[in-house]
Amino acid sequence: MEVNSTEIGRLNAVAAGGAQALLRALAERHGRAVKLASSLGAEDQVLSHMLLGIDPHASIFVLDTGRLHQETYDLMARMMSRYRMHYEVLFPSAGAVQEMVREAGPNLFYESVEHRHRCCGVRKVEPLRRALSGAAAWITGLRRAQSPDRAGTPFVEWDSAHGALKANPLADWTEDQVWDYLRAHDVPYNVLHDRGFLSIGCAPCTRAVEPGEDPRAGRWWWEQDGVKECGLHVSAGAS
Ligand code: SF4
C-alpha cells in the first residue's frame, strides 16, 4: 500500500485538532486495518482508552516477548475484563528463540549491544513485522519529550519499512498530560509506574529511574552509549 503526501499532510493537519481527532480520522478511513501497538505503558493506555471509545473492537496488539513483567500481564487481564476486549498477542518464533538461547544463553542482552539487538530482533522486530502485515496504519505512543532521539517525531509519517502509515497521536503531549488523562478517565495503568518505572519493557531490560532522570534511562541501563531503541521505531529516526 502507498499513501501520497497529500493524505499524510491532511492527517497531520487533523492531528493538530487533538489525538482523538486523529484516531477517529484513521478509524473512519481505514477501519480495523489501523492497529494500535500497545506495550501497556502509560501512553498506550491513553490511546487504548481513546480508540476503544471510537470502536470497542478496535485492533490492539501486544508483542509478548516472553520476558515481560508479571505486572504487565496483570494489566492485560484487567484491560480485557474492564473493556471486554481482546488483544492480538504476537509471540516470537519458537525456533528462533530456541536457536538464540542455545547459542548465546538466556541473558545474552547483557553481554553486548549486538546480542541485545539480536534478542530485540527475534522477540520484537520480527513479530512486529507479522503484526503489521496487511495493516494500513499503525499507532504508537511515541512522544517527542521522551528522549532526544524522539524530538522530531511527527504526528503521521510513512513507514516504508512496514509499508503502512505510522501515527503518533501523542507526539506533542507532556508526561503530565498523559497522567492527567489517565486519572481523569480512571484508566487502569501498570503498577510498575508507581514504583519508579517510567518506561516499561521487558523485565530483564527495564529498571526504575530516580526523579529527574532521563525517562529512557531505565531501558538497557548497562549500555553507556548509543540510541536506546529496540528497532521497532527505525523510521521515526532512531520501544
Ligand atoms: S528488551 Fe531485552 S529481553 Fe526484551 S527483546 Fe530486547 S533484549 Fe530481549
Report DSSP letters for 213-231, one per residue.
S-GGGGBSTT--SS----S
CATH code where residue 118 lies = 3.40.50.620
Give every CB contact of residue 73 below 8 A, 6+ residues apart in sequence.
none
Is 215 part of any domain?
no
Cα 39 to averaged position of ligand 1 atoms, centre (Å): 13
For residue 91, the enclosing domain spans: 5-191
Is 199 part of any domain?
no
Atom 3, ligand 1: residue with shortest CA distance = 202
Whether residue 11 has its Cβ less than 6 Å from ligand 1: no
Cα 116 to averaged position of ligand 1 atoms, centre (Å): 7
Is 238 part of any domain?
no
Is 126 part of any domain?
yes
Cβ neighbours, 10 Å, residue 154: 18
Of 160, 169, 163, 150, residue with least CA distance to 236: 150
Is 120 part of any domain?
yes
Number of domains present in the structure of the chain:
1
Cα 201 to averaged position of ligand 1 atoms, centre (Å): 8
Whether residue 232 has its Cβ less than 6 Å from ligand 1: no
Catalytic residues: 230
Is 206 part of any domain?
no
DSSP class of 237: T
Is 203 part of any domain?
no
Per-residue pLDDT of the chain (239 residues; tens, 9 = 90+): 556 788 999 999 999 999 999 999 999 999 999 999 999 999 999 999 999 999 999 999 999 999 999 999 999 999 999 999 999 999 999 999 999 999 999 999 999 999 999 999 999 999 999 999 999 999 999 999 988 889 999 999 999 999 999 999 999 999 999 999 999 999 999 999 999 988 889 999 998 888 777 767 787 888 876 666 676 776 443 34
Whether residue 127 has its Cβ less than 6 Å from ligand 1: no
Is 227 part of any domain?
no
